[in-house]
Amino acid sequence: MSIEVRPCADVEEYGAGLSAIWQFFGAEPDAEGLERFQRVLPLDRMHAAFEEGAVVGGGGAFVFSMSVPGGSLPCYGVTVVGVQPTHRRRGVLTRLMRAQLDDARERGEPIAALWASEAPIYGRFGFGVASLCGDLELARERTAFHAPYARVAQARFVERDEALERFPAVYDRVAAETPGMLGRSRDWWEVRVLLDPEARREGGGPHRRVLIELDDGEAAYAIYRHHPKWEDASAVSSIQVIEALGTSPAATSEIWRYLLDMDWTAWIKAQLLPIDHPLQLLLAEPRRMRLRLSDGLWVRLVDVGAALSARSYQGEGRLVLEVSDSFCPWNEGRWELADGSARRTDADSELRLGVSELGSAYLGGFGFADLERAGRLEELTPGAVARADTLFRTNRKPWCPEIF
């Protein structure tokens, strides 16, 4: 039987396409959920795979920009990609990815990004691991800072509507200087970040939202929930930090000191923290964080020339990259990076690498020397790896605080 992949034509097809992945999470789309989801993933950005008129797979792409070194760039946010278990190993996923990356190119979105539910899959389609993140589990009695710390600001609870108005100011300031963070629309804040349905609580309480203000206004916020538990008449509860951001070192210290000082708490837990989080130097015993690393964002350059030309570089220099890209052959060939822009060239190659490796280096998450040590690129001109690392160096490691 032949498989056809195309954008969804109506809400019924849209829901069937989502069911291909949602079933694996034990969920089914309902009318309210579909209406809400379309606010961030429009109908025409959801592809479905059909066999004899029946949907057998689906994949969508969120609309957002992503922070890159020196600015931001439209990003094709690949999500909800799934194939019905009745049609595995029949090329459905490959056809979906083909349709999605062609769509990204036609829309002029130079990079694509995703969180990989199964890591081995997406390297085949040119995505590379672009960031790492860490999960924290810190015992309450091990939360002391390396030096005595006196709080200088008062945290206060805010209702959802005030959070919707005040939190974005903090987030946007942090995102402007952190590669990998998403540009959040108001709809995104409403239906992704601040929405708190029972199904997301995993036995915990509702969202708690606090704001810290300093002299220049909104400085930090946290979204967290309590997971109450008692043993032998004593609280062994935990709090789950969903998101905590500060616009400055002082603001970051303030919001985390608030979270770490929570009464009736035995454990403070957080997921998806950046690997260069200040807590590793703030805490007196950073080893007590039990920080467990994992891959975070996966990035794919849909248009190598446009993507390389859109980010900033450290210092001046020239570099010729020979890029292989069998899935998107329009990217293949030699690219000269000079004066902050990339163009095709016939000059001799200095580095040879695949587009997935370029995706790993693009945001600054991994250096070219890292790739070379892993056997993931070939240095053709002595010193080219060192020059590449100088050009692509960033002050912050890339980070995305949420799975999409």
pLDDT at 339: 93
Kindly state the average pLDDT of the residues 176-186.
Answer: 97
Mean pLDDT computed over every residue of the chain:
96
Residue 234's pLDDT is what? 85
Q: What are the Cα distances from residue 297, in Å, to 83, 130, 144, 177?
A: 22, 5, 31, 17
Determine contact, residues 102/67, Cβ cutoff 8 Å.
no
Q: What is the mean pLDDT of residues 147-152?
A: 92
Q: With 80 as the cut, is the pLDDT of residue 205 above it?
A: yes
Active site residue 404: yes
Asked whether the beta carbons of 58 and 48 are under 8 A apart, the reply is yes
216 confidence band (pLDDT: 50, 70, 90): confident
pLDDT, position 65: 97
| Tokens read off for 290 | 């039990």
pLDDT digits (tens, 9 = 90+) for 97-140: 999 999 999 999 999 999 999 889 999 999 999 999 999 999 99
pLDDT bin (cut points 50, 70, 90) of residue 70 is very high
Q: Is 171 a catalytic residue?
A: no
Q: Answer whether residue 344 shows pLDDT above 80.
A: yes
Percentage above 70 pLDDT, the chain: 100
Residue of 14, 62, 122, 313 marked active site: 122
Which one is catalytic: 76, 167, 313, 404?
A: 404
Task: Please give the pLDDT value at position 1.
Answer: 61
For the chain, how many helices (H) and strands (E)?
11, 21
pLDDT at position 28: 80
Query: Rounded to whole angstroms, how far apart are CA atoms 344 and 346?
Result: 7
- Among 70-79, 83-92, 183-192, 204-213, the minimum mean pLDDT is found in 83-92
Judged against a pLDDT cut of 80, whether residue 29 lies above it is answered with no
- Measured distance CA(206)–CA(306) in Å, rounded: 43
Residue 398 contacts residue 297 (beta carbons within 8 Å): yes
Least confident of 137-141, 228-232, 251-255, 345-349: 228-232
Write down all domains in the chain, each with its CATH number in brackets: 4-109 (3.40.630.30), 133-294 (3.40.630.30), 297-392 (3.30.1050.10)
pLDDT 10s digits, 304-327: 999 999 999 998 889 999 999 999
> What is residue 313's DSSP assignment?
-
